[in-house]
Amino acid sequence: MADIDIKRSHTLGTSGARSAVEKVAAKLHEKLNVSTQWSGDTLHFEGNGADGKIHVQDEQVHLALNLNFVLKSMKGWIRNEAEKYLDKYLTPAGG
């Protein structure tokens, strides 16, 4: 089970949601220094202290994020940041 598990509905379609997830991934890289790789409609990411995936569907995005011991102390802040960026970029005018 992921340390942080977030689902968000959207109206962007799969292609639009993939573009939005790319922006979220850029923020994850900036904040947590993770590397990313797409496998189908799932963006996998891994870095020093955090790993997980963002699965894109036609009407929903699902983020599952695992944190190491040190980052678990920042879980609330990381969750808030992830929710903020998902909400920002998954809105039709987001970005």
Q: Under CATH, to which class is 4-89 assigned?
A: alpha beta
pLDDT category at 93 given cuts 50, 70, 90 is low
Give me 79's structure tokens: 């969750």
Q: Under DSSP, is residue 20 helix (H, G, I), strand (E, B) or coil?
A: helix
Tens of pLDDT, residues 15-40? 999 999 998 888 878 877 889 999 99
Which of 79, 73, 63 has the alpha carbon at shortest distance from 31? 79
Give me 33's structure tokens: 């220094």
Tens of pLDDT, residues 50-90? 899 999 999 999 999 999 999 999 999 989 988 998 999 99
β-pair partners for 39: 42
Domain residue ranges in the chain: 4-89
